[in-house]
Amino acid sequence: MLSFTITASSGGVNTPGFAVTDVPDDEPLNQGYLNLTVGNINDPGEFIDFQFSSLVVNLNGATGNGTGTFDGFSGVQLENLNSGTTADVNGVSYSPGVTGSYDVDLAGGGLDSGLLLEDGGAGRFYAGTWSVQVTIPAAPGSIALADFTDDTGDGSAKVSVTGAANTTYKLVEADDLDFSNPDQDPIGLTGATVGTKVGDTVTTDGSGNATVQFNLGNAKSATFLRAEETP
């Protein structure tokens, strides 16, 4: 579970089904947009500061028994822009010259530990979606998932699998950690950038690594994934 600290210029922050009215505050967030309760970021001095607070890793139905690291924010999609919008993201000014949405890649120069959105002096915007990267290391002899990224807009996702060398795995999705009634078994894979994709399975390389692409949709605020070795 990831928790973040949010600080806003005034009025708090809205996300679907979640509102911060006393800022700064520290609460777990659902996926969704980041917008001021008073509206778009469009006046001098308005900002939303979204910072990582804590990570709790739950393994095999237990609580807090795993370890992991929050690597940082890898991207953000700016929404509701007009053609003259100037937006400041983590101290960098963006003037896309487009209406609607614009994707900002935060991973090009290394992952950013936080997400600071500030009025850039023209136009309007808010954060429609954002992406983060988390690493959960593998225990000896186990299967681990790491470097998970998810676009909350179109549902596209990718994750790295670490297991045994030259071994075939599938991904399974469920609504809880019991996995007794999985939603997808296996998850349909759309590609593999490391390892070899065969249908909806992937075979790790000689170091036991694979990275696969898939789509989880955008209807859920939370879901659970695990990798399983196939016969």
Q: How far apart are CA 230 and CA 181, in angstroms?
A: 18
Report the pLDDT value the prediction gives residue 205, as an integer from 0 to 100. Answer: 92
Q: Is 219 exposed, middle or buried (0-12, 13-18, 19+ CB in 10 A)?
A: exposed
Report the pLDDT value the prediction gives residue 36, as an integer from 0 to 100. Answer: 78
> Per residue in 122-153, pLDDT tens?
999 988 878 888 887 665 567 888 888 888 77
Write phi, then psi, for 60 (nearest 5 degrees): 55, 40
HEC assignment per residue over 159-213: EEEECCCCCEEEEEEECCCCCCCCCECCCCEEEEEECEEECCEEECCCCCEEEEE
Tokens of 207: 């170091």
> Per residue in 15-52, pLDDT tens?
544 333 333 333 333 345 667 777 789 989 989 888 88
> Per residue in 146-187, pLDDT tens?
888 888 778 899 999 998 889 999 999 998 888 888 999 999
- The whole-chain average pLDDT of the chain stands at 82
Report the predicted TM-score, pTM, of the whole model to 2 decimal places. Answer: 0.57
